[in-house]
Amino acid sequence: MRIYTKIDRNLVIQQYERQLPLVFIIAWEHERKFYPSQTWTDFGLVVIGWWVQALDRLLDNNLEKKTSFSFMDGPYEIIASYYEQSQLIELMPQGKEYIWVTSVRELINVLLSAMEEIKMKLLEFGVYTENDDLVLQKGRQVLSKYL
C-alpha cells in the first residue's frame, strides 16, 4: 500500500509564483489498484493533512470506529474502519468492489512516507514554504504518537 504522488515541476512552480495552493497527482494505491485513479489531481498538501487528522480521530482513544479519507473534489472517499483488538484497518474505496486491509503501523508509515516524498520534491523544485513545513511537521507529530 502506498500513497502515489506525481508532482509536475512546471505546474507547481506556476502555482507557487501565483501564490496558489499546489495541485498535483495524489492517489491511494494497493495491489496495482489506484483510487480514485492514477491521474487524480488534488490539493495534495491539504488532503494529506485531512487524512492525518482522520486517522488521528480514528485511533485517538478509539472515539470513532469509522472515518473517511476524503478528496477535495468529487464524491471520492475511502471509508476506514478500525478494529482495535487486531490493530487492523479496513479501507473501502467508495464506488469500488474491493476492500483493502492494512495494519495501523503500515498505514501510518504510508502517510509518513508520502509526506516525506512530497517535501523532498517541493524542496527540489524550490517551492517548499514555511507553511508547508508546519503542515507536514504537525502531521508527523500527530502520527508519531501511534508508533
Domain encompassing residue 106: 2-133
Residue 82 inside a domain? The answer is yes
pTM: 0.95
pLDDT at 65: 86
User: Mean pLDDT, the chain, as a whole number?
Assistant: 95
Tell me, yes or no, whether 88 lies in a domain: yes
Domain count, the chain: 1
Residue 63 has pLDDT above 80, yes or no: no
Residue 147 covered by a domain: no
In 3D, which of 66, 59, 62, 70 has the Cα closest to residue 35?
A: 70
The pLDDT tens digits for 95-138 are 999 999 999 999 999 999 999 999 999 999 999 999 999 999 99
Q: Is residue 145 situated within a structural domain?
A: no
CA separation for the pair 18, 79 (Å, rounded): 34
In a domain, 40, yes or no: yes
Q: Is residue 76 part of a domain?
A: yes
Residue 27 lies in a domain: yes
Element (H, E) at 141: helix 130-144
DSSP result, 68-95: EEE-SSTT-EEEEEEETTTTEEEEEETT
- Mapped onto helix, strand or coil, the DSSP state of residue 30 is strand
Does 125 reside within a domain?
yes
Query: CA-to-CA distance for 56 and 50, rounded, in angstroms?
Result: 10
